[in-house]
Structure 1
Amino acid sequence: MIHHIVVGAVMGLLAMSPIAAWAEKDVKRSDTVQATPEQLDFFESKIRPLLIDHCYECHGRDSQESELRVDTLGGMLTGGLAGASLVPGKPTSSLLVTAVRYQDNDLKMPPDEKLSDIQIADLIRWVEMGAPHPDSGTVGPIVQRGEVDVQEGRKHWAFQTPDKATPPVGDASSDAPNPIDAFVLAKLRAQGLRPNPPADKRTLLRRVTFDLIGLPPTPEEIDAFLADGSRDAFASVVDRLLASPHYGERWGRHWLDVARYADSNGLDENVVHGNAWRYRDYVVRSLNDDKPYDEFVVEQLAGDLLDSDDDVELRHERLIATGFLVLGPKVLAEQDEAKMAMDIIDEQIDTVGRSLLGLTLGCARCHTHKFDPISHHDYYGLAGIFQSTQTMDSYKTVAKWHENTIETPQQAADLTAHEEKITAREKLIADNVAAAKSNLDPPVDSEEKPGEVEKRFPAETQAELKTLREELAAWKEATPELPTAMGVTDGEIVDTAVHLRGSHLTLGDVVSRRVPEVLALDDQPAIPDEQSGRLQFAQWLTNGRHPLTARVMVNRMWRGHFGKGLVSTVDNFGLKGSPPSHPELLDWLAVRFVEEGWSIKAMHRMILLSQTYQRSSDFDAENAGLDPGNQWYWRFSLRRLEAEAIRDGLLAVSGQLDPTTGGNLMQYKNREYVFNHTSQDKSKYDSTRRSIYVPVIRNHLYDMFQLFDYTDASVLTGDRNTSTIAPQALFLMNSEMVSDLTFALADRLLEDDADSSQRIRRLYREAYGRPPSDLEISEGVRFLSQFETLLQRNQVASGDRESDPERSAWQAFCQAVVSSSEFVYIR
């Protein structure tokens, strides 16, 4: 039968893409049986006329939409771009049957009018017979689309175990004690490029401070660094910043981009992730504590399955970590529960694939991956792991995600004691009512309603019952809620059938839980029958021999420091991703990462102490002519601060930053609608806390964050865009937030018993990390004087005696300083 026109168009576009070398390798003989005369008569009288009338026009000898023919048995068995349309003996696995049943909204054939019930029944009966056909028993080998040649696939660089090459030795090796520099200098020499000299100390300090903690250096920190003339001065700065609690807040945000963190669901039912903040705080703590990356990964995938002995705090930490698998957006009002379950699994596979493996595994849901050696069966091997995981407690509208309880023994005891008090009070009320009833004359009639009975009680008894019930209601209202955290646990253990075209309505072979074959270099991890396989999957990812896990993470760190990865497509290491600019360096870093115990801070330190990182960003025309994109790192690339660093920097220089760490700023209860039916919006963004603590509301992101290229919280984003558009400048010039913060900054400056020149020097040191030039001082003094005079004249003309011209002049000057490119860029 023909495929839906939309599906056909999409698949047609895919067909124009180059097909990977490992596609269509294996062949398999059809499973049709030799037809009996009676069966052939059934086909000729019932099935062939149906196909001629409804299918041949688009899928016959002259036309094959989506590369599908149904006028031959071989054509149906081979199928089109969506896969085999016929599986003899298996109607539920045959796309032909799915299409005519109109089960799938995207696959309804014939598209104009559904077949009659009798015709559909005949077609199903024919498939159940084994699809008898005049060609039965004579069809040759049938090509199965999308088979994967694993050995061919493993030739791709990213699927091979990293090799720790010896750093190059050249003329300048003595000047490159850091192996990073040895690799980079070798590439520079090969390209005929000269590296820039080191950046000056002020520039370097501002660069690394924003880089590691997302805040500007203070004047005191600047003075201390300038005064330290030792060889280890910069190393001491790096160590100080890595030890700062603000480090986890800054680099935690990088990971939250990858974890698609948000405080609400978005999509159809935008309800609040009221406990998502616990996962965010877990990430910040983990990075501050330099938790080994392998542990960090295992906890997020399978923390609930780890043995924490009697350590309650550790147990809770690991349960919170599994929020990683739950944070994605979900269509919570989906009526098809089986579809919702598979959509959630697909989102988990896609997230895990791109975040940890740098692979677009989700592309294999409907068919074998078009480019990477990931088969349809590989996908459903992974799907079984996540289908055996309980992510949702209910799929009924509105569906509910799972949350693990994380109460302490004391909290559990307090709840029990409170519930015992409620039970005792309920018993006291019941006893009092019973006693009062027993004293009534005439006795209580069985037809008499309780409310009417109590009206006959003495006034004193009624008053006492009223008091007791009010106290009971107050106690119930005050019942403590045990803390919970978004997370998962093992559910019913199952293997998953291949979903033809990704649809749960047409099922193929059942695939045992496993990992993609092309990556199973040391064979498949053993998954016990009674476990989901999440723990084994996580341990396989972090065994130190995996070809992708360490590479992907060190590349993310490199991107965080330099603005681009050694592999520029940080979320895609597959065949359509970019090859590494420095493959030997990437592998050397990946192996070193594992050798040093997966320490993220140690990797930071190595990168930051390299000459490559410490180079100036100055322009060099000759180098730029050879390498305009700075692919070979002859200089440090100028970078604009992210939205959070701009906001936090403004808060810091204005003196308004609240350094409190952790906690919840949401104005909503868990699972409450962010926007109710009266369009009431309780979201607030006026906090002075770090930006990482500002609620992330899907479908309603904070305006400033959106303006400065904040991540789309609905999808994993490892490589934010950096745009330059007029509204960004207009925001800095006109927003109420910037106005309020620059008034606060002006007030700080005016508190000093100093002249304008001294105040300008302080402003420049705090905002730019450098002293102003003589020209900047003179121009600033002139601006302040003229602006204040103008305001005074306007004040006299308007009769306004409330405003302070001096304060307003300083606010305008401060706003001009922090709105400049020098404030929002690091160099």
Structure 2
Amino acid sequence: MKANGLLIGGLGAVVLLSSFSLWGRWGSQPVDFNTQIKPILNKNCIACHGGVKKASDFSLLFKQEAFAPAKSGHPAIIPGDAEGSELIRRLSLTDPNERMPLDAPPLKAEEIDLLKKWIDQGAEWGDHWAFQTPELPNVPSIGTLWSRMGLTSNPETDWATNEIDQFVLSTLREKGLTASPIADKSTLLRRLSLDLTGLPPTEAEVAAFMADPSPEAYAKQVDRLLASPAFGEKWAGMWLDLARYADTKGYERDPGRKIWRYRDYLIKAFNADKPYDQFLTEQLAGDLLPNATDDQLIATGFHRNTMNNDEGGTQDEEFRVAAVIDRVNTTWDVFQGTTFACVQCHSHPYDPFRHDDYYKYMAFFNNARDEDVTTETPTLRFYTGSDSTQLMQLKQFVRQSMRDPKQADAEVRRVEMMARTVEPKINSHDFDQYVNASLLDAKFFGVQDKGSARIKPVTLTGRTRLYVAWGTSAPDAQVTFRLDSPTGRVLTTVPVPNTGGAWSDSVQAIPLPDVPGKHAVYFSLNSPAKPLEWVMLKWVSFQPPLALAAEKMLLGLLNKNPDQTPIMLDGTGELARKTHVFIRGSWLSPGAEVTPDVPGTLPPMDTDDQTLPRNRLGLAQWMTRPDHPLTARVAVNRFWEQLFGTGIVETVEDMGTQGIQPTHRDLLDWLAITFAQDDQWSMKKLLKRIVLSSTYRQQSNATPQLLAADPFNHYLARGPRVRLSAEQVRDQALAVSGLLNSKMYGPSVMPPQPDGIWQSPYNGEAWVQAKDGEQYRRALYTYWKRTSPYPSMITFDSPSREFCQIRRLRTNTPLQALVTLNDPVYLDAAQRLAEHMMQRGSSPAQQIQAGFRRLTLHELSPKKQTVLTKLYRDTEAYYAQHPTEASTLLGKQAGKLLVSIGLSTRAALMVVANTMMNLDEVIVKE
């Protein structure tokens, strides 16, 4: 036994000595590239040796570039040899002309030592954590073995509800912190209601919750709120910022846009708990799904919320490209949580994305058929009544005329596509070789007598119908279409319909001879009676023929003007585009051609068992694949940020190397994997898991010691205490006062707004205030004009939505108090709340207590009761002496109040109600 013991001891000594020898060379522990080295390089080196600049042909952005020979011919980093590495030598010099970083303070000695250790250890490179596929971490153990078995009590196991709490408690233990107790039931229900539905609970709902002693009482409230129609409205409102939703097109002219059906899609999707992977796919590529439904087409409005420039003199192609670039950037911001926009001009300064990666990704979006035309086509048209019947008859007629069922299906889809979307077509701004012609107001092609132009080469095989949208006021205008040249073979000569003016158009189907192959088509105008009168063409489309009856029905539908909403559609054949790298990001400087692909830093699209189509649908399928490192993490982080006010990664918009490190990385990965795999992308299950946790249900009170240790609550030792969003502040005022109109869906409405806010010189549009209770609908239905958003929303930090807004940065300014004290909506709410107060008490003290309880679900403290009662007394006395002012404050209701109650009493209660609505505990979640 002794011999064996000596042998084991000797082996242990050898291992220990070996370890000491290695530690002596490399330091006490391995250096981690991502957490220790990358921050030093990003801070001090990347500006000159990164994706934008590569001084001396040396870059530290990619491994192969960092280890490759620089301009001098020698590598700057030699793995395993710090002393021989030029990087260390240049960092250690004292001569300012040679020392790096140039023209900047030298690195600290400890930073250089860390770099030396890293190189000596082999200069192990590492991918940033967010670009690595997450692996399911172990859930930390808490409490004691006996408490985990339920045999004894322990503060940690007694407090924790689910795995989220175990991750949080583990971190709190490391930081020397402890969790806070669970909040009281009324506070908790108000927080939960505002978070899940955006509306406060009613007093009756609080009373029912308080009276339910069962252990499942809270979970039942969670289920009730998740099932509420208001849930979809709340979370759709959050998504509208991401989708840059607005009711106008943006830019200087900023005319109206009807895209409210996309907002309705969001509400329905959240309420139906549409799986997030499907939710993402429909918004990015709903039009590419097999047999796409109307809802799936409407969902693509996500990327039709881009701005259009309808101002005269602009170039459509410039702003079409701007819209495509916005789609690329928004897709990365919303679904990938990574800054990608800068790669438009150069390789990413900090993250491993190359310049051409941007344009390979852009190629997924570059075939979209929208082209910055004023009509916003393609749109999905909604026929009603007899027009809807006519569409059904047209489809039946086409189907019955085909013998082969497969051919019939294809032909019905083609005809329905034309009727519902007016695609495929060639927009007239794409004509060229103008003679006595121009783009009218830079919008649609116009031609005068003896003028002509060319339609670029297009396949004519089997396409013997030319659909044209055109018009004029000239009485005898005729257009001749020729093949291949201005003097080529005449295809046909037809009169232009007299529509009363060039800007009024009619759709016609012009018979053409059967011409095989791909040809240019030239057309010329003969208009001798009024040679200066314009003939305008909006678009043309070469289509196969239909039976005369079917063609007549189709033309009848195309000449209607039904309600419609912008959607995404891709062009094929001649309408497909090539994508080029833009040199320095300029669309006027195309470089090498690229094809659709994803950045090499991330998993490839094609795997051994899956080849994805190189279009938006394939891109969406790639983004929701199990090995994708970003999509689930970004989604989980965003939902967490909505509930706690700060994401697990605070920079919700940037999980890259310049983003703030996650406070609970293992928790983020665990939630992401659980969300995608166990929950099958169910957003409601994710939210339920979070709000059921004790971490979410904690009191928000903070001791001075806790504030000193963790002032921003990064480690979640207390519950969230965050100011309500602009929409929630308004909706709560309407809800507690009883004014809120719960009507869902439909076009946007215009609530009260001061005169003079809108100025629309182009078309004279005016803000027409909604009536009959429509003005009191939830805030997400408010009409959103990009150049002049609703004032109270902007004051409470909502964006203009010209571009995607990932998170709202909260401020607290006196302007916000001016809104809630003076905005007509809040005054109306205060007046209605005052009526409620009068019905709930016989004395001012009782009335004030009732109003405070309605607002906060808590009793008013004696100190606040005294202050508010004094406000009431002073205000009543003032209005008793100034009845005209009281009448002005009460507005239209003043005349009705003289019989039942004095003006001064009513006005004083309204002022107190308005004051209470401005209290801190009312405009935050607590």
Distance 1:749 1:522, change over 3 A: same
Of the candidates 652, 669, 672, which is equivalent to residue 590 of structure 1?
A: 672
Taking the TM superposition and a 5 Å limit, the aligned residue runs for 1:226-245 are 226-245=210-229
Is the contact between residue 495 and residue 513 of structure 1 (CA under 8 Å) also seen in structure 2?
no
Give the match for residue 303 of structure 1: 286
Q: Does 1:322 align with 2:405?
A: no
Q: Which digits, 9 at most, give the CA deviation of each residue in 1:505-550, with x for residues without a partner? A: 3332221211112112564799999x76111111111122211100
- Correspondences of 1:360-759 after superposition (within 5 Å): 360-392=339-371, 395=372, 398=374, 400-407=376-383, 411-413=387-389, 481-491=561-571, 492-521=575-604, 523=606, 533-595=615-677, 596-665=679-748, 675-677=760-762, 680-682=765-767, 684=769, 687-752=775-840, 754-759=842-847
Q: Which runs of 5+ in 2 are unaligned?
A: 1-46, 72-101, 103-122, 144-155, 395-555, 752-757, 889-893
- 1:116-155 matches, within 5 Å, as 155=127
Q: Is the 8 A contact 1:264 1:273 kept in 2?
A: yes
Give the 3-state SS of the residue equivalent to 1:509 in structure 2.
strand
User: 2: CA distance between counterparts of 1:570 and 1:516?
Assistant: 21
Q: In structure 2, which of residues 202, 206, 215 is the aligned counterpart of residue 222 of structure 1?
A: 206
Give the match for residue 284 of structure 1.
Answer: 267
C-alpha offsets along residues 460-513 of structure 1, whole Å, 9 cap, x if unaligned?
xxxxxxxxxxxxxxxx99x96433221111113344121211223333222121
Counterpart Cα distance in 2 of 1:532 and 1:341: 21
Change over 3 Å in CA distance of 1:186–1:363 after alignment to 2: same
Alpha-carbon shift at residue 202 of structure 1 (Å):
1.4
Kept in 1: contact 2:262–2:302 (CA 8 A): yes
Q: Which amino acid aligns with 2:264?
A: D
Matches within 5 A, 1:240-279: 240-274=224-258, 276-279=259-262
Tell me, what secondary structure is at the counterpart of 1:485?
A: strand
CA 1:153–1:538 in 2, change beyond 3 Å: closer, same or farther?
Answer: farther
CA distance in 2, matches of 1:528, 1:233: 49
CA distance change for structure 1 residues 799 and 180 in 2, over 3 Å: closer, same or farther? closer
Q: Residue 132 of structure 1 aligns with which residue? A: none
| Paired AA for residue 640 in structure 1 | R
Paired residue secondary structure (1:640): coil
Q: 2:188, 2:303 → 1: CA distance?
A: 38
Bigger fraction of residues in strand: 2
Instruction: Provide the residue aligned with 1:814 in structure 2.
Output: 913
C-alpha distance in structure 1 between counterparts of 2:300 and 2:735, whole Å: 33
Give the deviation of 1:387 after TM superposition. Answer: 1.0
Paired with 1:349 and 1:527, the residues of 2 have a C-alpha distance of 24
* Equivalent-residue separation in structure 2 for 1:405 and 1:522 (angstroms): 34
Instruction: Name the structure 1 match of 2:61.
Output: 21
* Contact kept in structure 2, 1:264 and 1:674, CA below 8 Å: no
Aligned twin of 1:44: none
Structure 2 length-normalised TM: 0.63
1:825 aligns with 2:924: yes
Name the SS for the 1:568 alignment partner.
coil
Deviations 1:260-316 (A, max 9, x none): 111111113312111x110011001100110000000000111111124xxxxx700
**SS of the residue aligned with 1:405?**
strand
Question: How many angstroms does 1:678 deviate by?
Answer: 6.8
Structure 1 pair 523–384 and aligned structure 2 pair: CA distance change class (3 A): same
Letter in 2 for 1:677: Y
Map residues 59-70 of structure 1 onto 2, 5 A cutoff: none
SS in 1 for 2:591: strand
Residue correspondences, number: 629
Structure (1 or 2) with the greater helix fraction = 1
Alpha-carbon distance in structure 2 between the residues aligned to 1:12 and 1:299: 37
Instruction: Check 1:781–1:677 CA distance in 2 against 1; reply closer, same or farther (3 A cut).
Output: same
SS at match of 2:921: helix
> How big is the shift at 1:757?
3.8
Q: Contact 1:272–1:674 (CA<8 Å) still a contact in 2? A: no
Match of 1:353 in 2: 332
| 1:772 and 2:860 aligned | yes
Q: Cα 1:174–1:352, aligned 2, differ >3 Å: closer, same or farther?
A: same
Instruction: For residue 380 of structure 2, give the secondary structure of its aligned residue in structure 1.
Output: strand
Q: Contact 2:142 / 2:170 at 8 angstroms: preserved in 1? A: yes
Report if the CA contact (8 A) 1:153-1:518 is conserved: no
Cα distance, 1:510–1:185 mapped onto 2, change above 3 Å: same
Write the distance in 1 (CA, Å) between the matches of 2:834 and 2:387.
Answer: 48
Three-state SS of the structure 2 residue aligned to 1:567 is: coil
Return the TM-score normalized by structure 1.
Answer: 0.70
1:361-401 per-residue CA deviation (whole Å, 9 max, x = no partner) reads: 22211222222111122111111111122233xx46x5735
How far apart are the structure 2 equivalents of 1:656 and 1:534?
A: 44
Letter in 2 for 1:315: T
Unaligned runs of 5+ in 1: 1-8, 31-66, 68-150, 309-313, 419-475
Structure 2 Cα separation of the partners of residues 497 and 575 of structure 1: 28
- Tell me: CA distance 1:184–1:236, structure 2 relative to 1, closer, same or farther (3 Å): same
Deviation at 1:216, TM superposition (A): 1.4
Structure having greater relative contact order (Cα 8 Å, sep ≥ 6): 1
CA distance in 1, matches of 2:884, 2:712: 55
Report the residue type matching 1:550 in the other structure. Answer: A
1:75-90 mapped onto 2 (5 Å cutoff): none
Indicate conservation of the 8 Å contact 1:371/1:575, yes or no. Answer: yes
Write out per-residue CA displacement over residues 644-694 of structure 1, whole angstroms, 9 at most, x where no aligned residue.
1110011111111000001103579xxxx9824375533547810000000
Q: 1:25 aligns to what SS in structure 2? A: helix
Q: 1:526 to 1:328 in 2, by over 3 A?
A: farther
Secondary structure of 1:819's aligned partner: coil
In 2: Cα distance, 1:540 partner to 1:796 partner: 67
Instruction: Please identify, of 725-734 and 517-526, the stretch whose mean Cα deviation from structure 2 is larger.
Output: 517-526
* Counterpart Cα distance in 2 of 1:782 and 1:509: 75
User: What SS is found at the alignment partner of 1:341?
Assistant: helix
Identity over the aligned pairs, expressed in percent?
33
